[in-house]
Chain A
Amino acid sequence: GNSVTQMEGPVTLSEEAFLTINCTYTATGYPSLFWYVQYPGEGLQLLLKATKADDKGSNKGFEATYRKETTSFHLEKGSVQVSDSAVYFCALSDRETSGSRLTFGEGTQLTVNP
């Protein structure tokens, strides 16, 4: 079956620090990969996506590259801000084996201090 493993949180950083949140996946098909962000008290927002190997998704200074050889989709940002404090979910969608289903990682809580 499909699964997503994220680095365990919580992660606490100072403003302007470099961020990496690791995400690896297992899929029997050829998945699309996503990062979603959930701010306190809100729903999930799509942060970025990639649909094929070596694709780089980017948005709001965040980046992630689809690495098929290492089955990874690590999230990075060069300089975090206090406003980036949120929970980040890595997810995959494998239409061949699971159709509409999104398989989520457990989420990583990020806190950025001023």
Chain B
Amino acid sequence: DTEVTQTPKHLVMGMTNKKSLKCEQHMGHRAMYWYKQKAKKPPELMFVYSYEKLSINESVPSRFSPECPNSSLLNLHLHALQPEDSALYLCASSRGAGGLGNEQFFGPGTRLTVL
């Protein structure tokens, strides 16, 4: 299994809602990532988990709250988002964090719209 899965595929939420994005991989990877991608732009790193511990937070607003319940799962909890948070949210995983040639494998993304 060389796949990263993400649910839901699409999400529409109001600014007062609480929702969660889910990511799963069964490749035995020990590093997992959340990215935000706006249209026609490259992905921007948000968070990195290494061995289930948060290792990088790229100064992301607290309305985004990541969680790594186990080595295969990564969640992103959303609360009180703004319309400018509308984007494609991508999850990725890699064998480790920062090793030589340690390529990241991406999921298909969740298209989030905040009304």
Contact = CB atoms under 8 A, between A and B. Distances in A.
A88 B6 CA distance: 22
* 7 closest residue pairs by CB, A with B: A104-B42, A51-B101, A99-B98, A95-B98, A43-B106, A100-B97, A44-B106
A106 interface: yes
Interface residues of A, number: 24
A99 B48 CA distance: 10
Interface of B: 4, 6, 31, 33, 40-43, 45, 48, 50, 55-56, 90, 92, 94, 97-109
Given A43-B106, A100-B31, A100-B55, A107 B40 contact: yes
Contact of A106 (B4, B42, B97): B42
Contacts of A105: 42
26 contacts: A34-B103, A43-B6, A43-B106, A43-B108, A44-B43, A44-B90, A44-B92, A45-B106, A46-B103, A46-B104, A46-B105, A46-B106, A49-B103, A51-B100, A93-B98, A95-B99, A95-B102, A99-B48, A99-B56, A100-B55, A100-B94, A101-B45, A102-B45, A104-B43, A106-B41, A107-B41
